[in-house]
Structure 1
Amino acid sequence: MMFKIGRIPTQIVGCFQNAGVIRRPDLRGRQRYFVQLCARRSDVRKAGGIEMASAHYTKRMYTKRFKETSDGSCKPPEKTRRVDEHVKSENIGICNQGTRRDCIQKSFTGLPNQPSGKEPKPVTSIMAQKFSTSNQPSGKDGKPVIPKPPQKSDIKPDAECSAPYSRGQPPLHKINSSKQEYGKPQPNSPYGMSGKQKNYTWKIIGGVVLLVSAIAAYNVGFFMKEDEEGKPAEKKKIVRKSKRIRKISKFPAESKDIPSSVPYLLIGGGTASFAAFRAIKSADPTAKVLVVDKEGYYPYMRPPLSKEIWFNDDAETTKKLHFKQWNGSERSLFYEPQDFYVDCTKLNTNPNGGVAVARGWTVKKLDVFERKAILEDGYEISYEKCLIATGSSPKNLPLFEEASQDVKDKVTLFRGISDFEELEDIIKSGPKSVAVIGGGFLGSELACALARQSRKTGLNVHQIFPEPGNMGKVLPGYLNLWTTNMVKKEGVNVITNAEVKDVEKVKDQLVLSLNNGSKIVADHIIVAVGASPNTDLARTSDLELDEDYGGFLVNAELMARSNLWSAGDCMCFYDVKLGRRRVEHHDHAVVSGRLAGENMTGAGKPYWHQSMFWSDLGPDVGYEAIGIVDSALPTVGVFAKATDKDTPKAVVEATDESNRAKTEEEAQPVSPASGTPESPKHSEDYGKGIIFYLRDDVVVGIVMWNVFNRMSVARQVLKEETKYADLNEVAKLFNIHEE
């Protein structure tokens, strides 16, 4: 039978040495030592002459533990210990009947040093000598007497049964096994490796480390080739290959921590909701307002994401989602700090009320009759008044929607903070070129912002759109051509009157085939072709949508149903001055959100205050607009030569404005300039001016080109609804000739 010496107490190990200890250098740790006890003669006969003495260790082998008693003898304990082993079968050797009990080693690779000229002896020679016929006493019949294998009762005390190990190693029972680390070789134990084995092991480890280091260094461009002139070539750029995946966390983590009943429920956490709860708290200071937003952020402003935040010189400022205004002051992207908001679990118990934001949660359905909102997990929230301000989502082109996944991974639809962070990571990864699809507000702003980045990184920026010039759907033809030239001066390769017809991935880049026959190669694509209102609640909640403009259909008071209002990009409202409209600008979200909040507290006001929008193409060119601004309408433009004060940067530095979308503007004193303004004759004269948009000879929209702090005048002109015989006289109200 076979025994494996693993964690057996040291006393029994010493006794087994007399029976023959076999050393296995080719094995590791506890598998290296075995005790072989040849079977009895009768067992050999039963095997038919030759019996393979193999050690087949099952998954479960029971070994009795022996301990030294007080009198020094070795006795087994009453209980046994179960040892689980997973050891492969090992052919230890054979017992040849012809040589009686001479055990011949067959499969061992480690043999002791032998005298030269003689055949090596097997490791089991100890066993062969001990149990060979020549060494055995004879019986009465002349036959040798085969001694029995050692039994438990034959085990001698520790002092008698110990035998020294070779190579000067102490007996195994003399080693304090409790101090040895299980399963690991110790320097002075029989389990330790020889010096030669250790040397080979360290050589292998060193070789592997060296190989891995060389591969890693090559991939990051550590090795640089030299060109023909002997100058080092440029280090290889690492281009980001996959889209950044942002996991939206839920706060609170469980819906049960969200209030089940609130007086005011706001669905959506954008600018419209922010303006609404400010209006509610102004009318009712102790109001309890719950905001449910799927994006996972507290309310923040979007316009700087395509403008000012790209001009940060400090990476830490950008990481904190702060941006520097044109006057150099720093401001956070978020409207309010985190401590402004109340924890969802404490909203209803707070005597002063407050605003709580459930981030990462989505309202899937509204029960208008029962006044309940149902979350994605079925949790219900009862409300008294509710506002839908779900905003909008960026549009995509069918070409990219139907493309393969490896193409989609290189396309960004720009809208919020997560899109900005993704695009920033892409720019930092060192691409050679990017392509912006779209020539409107967002596309032109992003193209200019990235072009300014290219002055540091060498990035090539392409902008592709079907209109004849930037903002071709908003500005009159002569002005959008002038704007296009300004964008080109920023470093953008503007491609007008072109559409993308095909896209394919070649190596790690995208090749865009245009309808004019040209091809553009880009490492990444940004699609900025407008936005669609988020109206999923209309289908699940039986709410009405506008067939022409899209969005939730509301009246002049922004009410969709009883106790249900809507504001911002997602709704189509009735303008008492300009008719039914749907607007997607920041200031409209401010104006409509504030009006909805006031009406939720009982104001009952109609939508009459015109919202404005603005766009900056860098610090030197900007404009503000109000009303219906459509290049398809007839326009009249009155311009004057601009000065250094007529820029977005100058106006912010002079007024210390923190937000260009400030709608509660104080009326500016108007002092008409002398003389009659004239329309410009050359493109260089479009320094500043006023563009009037007409419908039936009535002014319905106004663009103030590099003219600031005159929005109150523009609102007054729209409110009059007057047919002006000479718009040059109206332009005098804006003081465009002031130095």
Structure 2
Amino acid sequence: MRPPLSKELWFSDDPSVIDTLRFKQWNGKERSIYFQPPSFYVSPRELSEVENGGVAVLTGKKVVHMDVRGNKVRLNDDTEISYDKCLIATGGVPRNLQVLERAGAAVAQHTTLFRKIEDFRCLEKISREVKSMTIVGGGFLGSELACALGRKAKETGLEVIQMFPEKGNMGKVLPEYLSNWTTNKVRKEGVNVMTEAVVKHVSFQDGKVEIKLKDGRVVKTDHIVAAVGLEPSVELAKSAGLEVDSDLGGYRVNSELQARSNIWVAGDAACFYDIRLGRRRVEHHDHAVVSGRLAGENMTGASKPYWHQSMFWSDLGPDVGYEAIGIVDSSLPTVGVFAKATPKDTPKAATEESGTGIRSESETEAVASDEAAASTSPPRIPQQGEDYGKGVIFYVRDKVVVGIILWNVFNRMPIARKIIKDGEEHADLNEVAKLFNIHED
């Protein structure tokens, strides 16, 4: 479960968290980064003898060739494993900037591509040893890490710099006014945020990494974290004869996540057909859970199309968080309706109230009724300079809502899911916003 690697694990007071990987959720409840304890799994060698079947995980091996006609895969030690049905869930690897790749071995030694448990452990250790860290990237991962390290910096005096080409944090996702507000929030966390920063040249001199920007600015730092997106892992496409989407990346599959009659793909590596929103590829925790479950069901004959809209969430510390669904792209027209926040409108308060720290809808499976209670107070669009306490942002394409962000509004995702599933044209989105009860005390 990767999300805590850039969120809760950094906010733990327990020094042993690096080893145990047990973290406290915002509501104080403890949870492991692993979905199942080791006892849940059986040994691969014993799998065929287990009375009721089971799940076996083979670690330290890599599939290097896939024989689709022969229904078998070859591992990097030349072992072959046969299958009746196969699910590809290879995920992805973090992208790097070409300018960093060309910068040489010394810069590479002072650069982290953040993705795995080892990366968290390594970065946590580095954050205690250096004086300055620079995060390149203004998306989900970059902004979450910036806030986590910024909070840590207040205690240790670590200098935390975040730089990205956009005009504000989450600039590709949030409308401009909300992106600006988020940038100020990250700055308040103790981060030196550098906007419209395009990295031109990187070198290692006098024990420091020197970053030269296109506009002439120069930054000297001890360590770089590159958080600039993900490349889906599709190495098996060639040997398996599977199609890779030229625009979105990932293995092309149908709405049932099927690539061939007996091959399915789930998670980051799947470029799937969403029967409501068209062809998509999604890189979020909830989608990995939802698509994995759907593929599993379809492998047993369920024949279900992908219509459950997976959600995703991002927390900038325990006080500001948002949940989103559908296509949220700042290049689309948006309508935002906001209300004044109360102390309970935070990720921390929401998890305390619900008693669960699970933010993944796929784990709770709540469903919206056809008639969500409407608020009597009229929502309003905030004036410039106001605090965006809590609200709903609608993303519109061809007069239809295709994406929704719930800003410091929690436990309302089933309503958002239903609006997107219905796919209706709305004359007044202020009226639709009333369904979310954002004005209740």
TM-score by length of 2: 0.98
Name the structure 2 match of 1:694: 396
Residue of structure 2 in register with 1:423 after alignment: 123
Residue 349 (1) aligns with residue 349 (2): no
**Residue 365 of structure 1: how far off its partner (Å):** 1.0
Deviation at 1:689, TM superposition (A): 0.3
Q: Distance in 1 between matches of 2:189 and 2:146?
A: 9
Cα distance per residue 1:505-540 (max 9 Å; x no partner): 122111111122111111000000000100000022
Aligned partner of 2:438 in structure 1 is: 736
C-alpha distance in 1 between matches for 2:96 and 2:246: 21
Once residues 665 and 536 of structure 1 are traced to their aligned partners in structure 2, the CA distance between those partners, rounded to angstroms, is 34
| Alignment partners' CA distance in 1, 2:346 and 2:413 | 16
Indicate the structure (1 or 2) with the bigger Cα radius of gyration: 1
Residue in structure 2 matched with residue 400 of structure 1 by the alignment: 100
Identify the range of structure 1 (528-537 vs 322-331) with the bigger mean alpha-carbon deviation.
Answer: 322-331
Q: Give, in whole Å, the separation in 2 of the partners of 1:665 and 1:421.
A: 32
| 1:312–1:318 contact (8 Å) kept in structure 2 | no
Quote the offset at 1:668 in angstroms: 5.8
For residues 380-417 of structure 1, give each alpha carbon's deviation from its aligned partner in whole angstroms, at most 9, with x where no partner exists: 11111100000011000001111110111001000011
What residue is the counterpart of 2:385 in the other structure? Answer: 683
Query: What is residue 15 of structure 2 aligned with on the other side?
Result: 315
CA contact under 8 A between 2:336 and 2:394: conserved in structure 1? yes
Identity %: 61
> Unaligned 5+ residue runs, structure 2?
none
1:684, CA displacement in angstroms?
3.0
Q: Is the 8 A contact 2:135 2:142 kept in 1?
A: yes
C-alpha distance in 2 between matches for 1:558 and 1:668? 25
Residue 699 of structure 1: how far off its partner (Å)? 0.3
Q: Which position in structure 2 is the counterpart of 1:537?
A: 236
Partner SS, residue 493 of structure 1: strand
Quote the residue 1:592 is aligned against: 291
Q: 1:553 aligns with which of 252, 270, 292?
A: 252
Q: 1:619 aligns with which of 310, 315, 318?
A: 318
Q: Which amino acid aligns with 1:375?
A: L
| Number of aligned positions between the proteins | 438
- State the AA in 1 paired with 2:46: K
**What is the identity, as a one-letter code, of the residue corresponding to 2:295?**
A
Q: Equivalent residues in 2 for 1:551-700 (5 A)?
A: 551-663=250-362, 664-667=364-367, 670-700=372-402
Q: How far apart in 2 are the matches of 1:545 and 1:316? A: 42
Contact 1:640 1:685 in 2 (8 A): no
Of the three residues 691, 707, 710, the one matched with 2:409 is: 707
Residue type of the alignment partner of 1:370: G
Look up the SS of the partner of 1:424 in the other structure.
helix
Report the residue type matching 1:689 in the other structure.
Answer: G
Q: Is 1:412 aligned to 2:76, yes or no?
A: no
- Distance (whole Å) between structure 2 residues aligned to residue 716 and residue 408 of structure 1: 46
The one-letter code of the counterpart of 2:324 is: A
Deviations 1:21-47 (A, max 9, x none): xxxxxxxxxxxxxxxxxxxxxxxxxxx
Bigger mean CA offset, 616-625 vs 512-521? 512-521
CA distance in 1, matches of 2:72, 2:203: 48
- Secondary structure at 2:361 match in 1: coil
Question: Which of 158, 179, 184 lines up with 1:480 in the alignment?
Answer: 179
Query: Any idea what the Cα deviations from partners look like across 1:123-175, whole Å, max 9, x if unmatched?
Result: xxxxxxxxxxxxxxxxxxxxxxxxxxxxxxxxxxxxxxxxxxxxxxxxxxxxx
Looking at structure 2, the residues matched to 713 and 487 of structure 1 have their Cα atoms a distance apart, in angstroms, of 29
Match of 2:211 among 499, 512, 518: 512
The answer (yes or no) to whether the contact 1:509–1:521 under 8 Å persists in 2 is yes
Q: Which residue of 2 aligns with 1:325?
A: 25
Using CA pairs under 8 Å that are at least 6 residues apart, name the structure with larger relative contact order, 1 or 2.
2
Moved over 6 A (4+): none
Q: Deviations over 1:332-375 (max 9, x none)?
A: 11001111110122111111211110001101111111100110
Instruction: Please tell me the root mean square deviation across aligned C-alpha atoms, in Å.
Output: 1.0
2:144 corresponding residue in structure 1: 445
Contact 1:461 1:493 in 2 (8 A): yes
Residues 543-571 of structure 1 deviation map (CA, whole Å, 9 limit, x = unaligned): 11111111101011110012100000001
Superposition deviation, residue 624 in structure 1: 0.3
Question: The residue matched to 2:141 in structure 1 has which SS?
Answer: helix
Is the CA contact 1:626–1:714 (under 8 Å) kept in the aligned structure 2? yes
Aligned position for 2:199 = 500
Report the TM-score, using the length of structure 1 for normalisation.
0.59
**Secondary structure of the equivalent of 1:683?**
coil
- How far apart, CA to CA, are the structure 1 residues paired with 2:169 and 2:348? 21
Q: How does 1:31-46 map to 2 (within 5 A)?
A: none
